Structure formats: structure tokens, C-alpha cells
Chain A
Amino acid sequence: ETGVTQSPTHLIKTRGQQVTLRCSSQSGHNTVSWYQQALGQGPQFIFQYYREEENGRGNFPPRFSGLQFPNYSSELNVNALELDDSALYLCASNVRGAGTGELFFGEGSRLTVL
């Protein structure tokens, strides 16, 4: 069974640029969530995708957007990058309607905005 995988693991961008982060959910999982973790803070919920549609969103501006594909993998896109977007971006997957509600997290993509 393959766990949640994310790419890239590290990347550096400059202010104003755009970034795309990718996530492959754990085998059999149909729901993907994205979290942002700033240094020294707990992860903060960005949004969740189920059946290729956004289903639940945290307090993040529209320049944070995402996609889910038929194979349940997902992308997080951030436009017009700001310095405060520097963080670890975590992807998590689970099975909607089954299981115990636990989320399975990937190792994250660390984004640095200069």
C-alpha cells in the first residue's frame, strides 16, 4: 500500500510568482485535504477535495486554488505569491464515508518565497 506522496519536497519562488504543488493520495482514498504550516505553528486547513470538487475551505484567499483528478490525486495552486506564503504545505487523504476519520498525511512540500 502506497502512502501519501507529495512533490516537490522543496522549492524556492519569488514574490508575485505562481506555484503548483502535487499530491498523490494513499491507495483507495477518495478525499484529499491541503494544510499550510508556518514555522512554529500547527497546520492550518486550506481546503478539501472530493469527487473532483472543492468541499470545505478554510480562511484562505481565492489565490489559493486546487484541483482533484479522476485518480484522486490533487494539485494546490497559489498565485501572486507573498512572503507570508512561505510554509510547509501538507496534503492528507482519507476515505469519505468509511474508516475512523483519521487523516493520512504526506511529508509536505516546503515553499520558500523570497
Chain B
Amino acid sequence: DAKTTQPTSMDCAEGRAANLPCNHSTISGNEYVYWYRQIHSQGPQYIIHGLKNNETNEMASLIITEDRKSSTLILPHATLRDTAVYYCIVRVGGLNSGGSNYKLTFGKGTLLTVNP
């Protein structure tokens, strides 16, 4: 799986948009970008994923550059409960794949602190 680079930490004011960047310059054509977050003392939680088109769900938006070498996770209106470590992961996606394709390779992620 391709390696990702994320800032160690970021701050955001409550109610403002949080934009978390991720570089994945060695991403392959069949690799998806996944975002998970981990609130302190809890298990990681899936947020969103995408291949090449921008994606939006009830939690966040994912913007992937045209060359797919970087992406940005956007939390449109951050709340205090969004304070967490955010992990950007690239991996082969798709159905009926072998066991290794369901392995997630986590880096250290970005600690997002939302301030009141």
C-alpha cells in the first residue's frame, strides 16, 4: 500500500471548517483513499473514502486532486467532539479481494484539536 504523509497536528476553531491535508504521491491507479478517525481511548471510526472523484457524506467531504497525489478531508463545521487523530490511508479497494486487501496500514495521523 502507498505511503501517506500528514501533518502531526492541527488546530481549528469550533464552528469553522477543518481542512486536513494528506499527501500520497506514490498512489497506484487501483488504490483508494480512506479516512478514519480515532477519538481518545476509542477504536478507529470510518469517515469516508474515494478513488478519484470528490465524495461527500453526512460526516465530511473528501477532495482528491486530479493527479490523485494528494487529498483533503473537510469537516464543514467542526465541533469539540471532532477532536481526534485523523488517519489518511491508501489501499487497494474493491470487493472479493484477498485478505491482505482488507489490511489497513496506519501512520501516525493528524491530531486535530477543535478549540472553543
Q: Which residues of A are interface residues toward B (Cβ below 8 A)? A: 4, 31, 33, 35, 40-45, 48, 50, 55-56, 58, 90, 92, 94, 96-108
Contacts and interface: CB of A to CB of B under 8 A. Distances in A.
A43 B98 contact: no
A56 B106 contact: no
Interface in B86-100: 87, 91, 93-100
Contact of B109 (A42, A44, A90, A102): A42
A100 B93 contact: yes
A94 B99 CA distance: 11
B108 A94 contact: no
Interface residues of B, number: 29
* Prevailing SS type, chain A contact patch: loop
A107 B42 contact: yes
Nearest to A41: B108
Contacts of B107: 42
Contacts of A98: 95
A97 B96 contact: yes
B79 to A, nearest CB: 21
Given A48-B99, A55-B98, A94-B102, A101 B43 contact: no
B17 to A, nearest CB: 24
Contacts of B49: 100-102
A101 B93 contact: yes
Nearest to B43: A105
30 contacts: A33-B103, A41-B108, A42-B108, A43-B44, A43-B104, A45-B104, A45-B105, A48-B99, A48-B103, A50-B99, A55-B99, A56-B102, A56-B103, A58-B103, A90-B44, A92-B44, A97-B96, A98-B95, A99-B95, A101-B34, A101-B49, A101-B93, A101-B97, A101-B101, A101-B102, A102-B34, A104-B46, A107-B41, A108-B42, A108-B43
Contacts of B100: 56
Contact of B32 (A58, A101, A103, A108): A101
The 10 closest A-B pairs by CB, nearest first: A42-B106, A56-B99, A105-B43, A55-B99, A102-B46, A56-B100, A45-B103, A97-B96, A101-B93, A48-B99
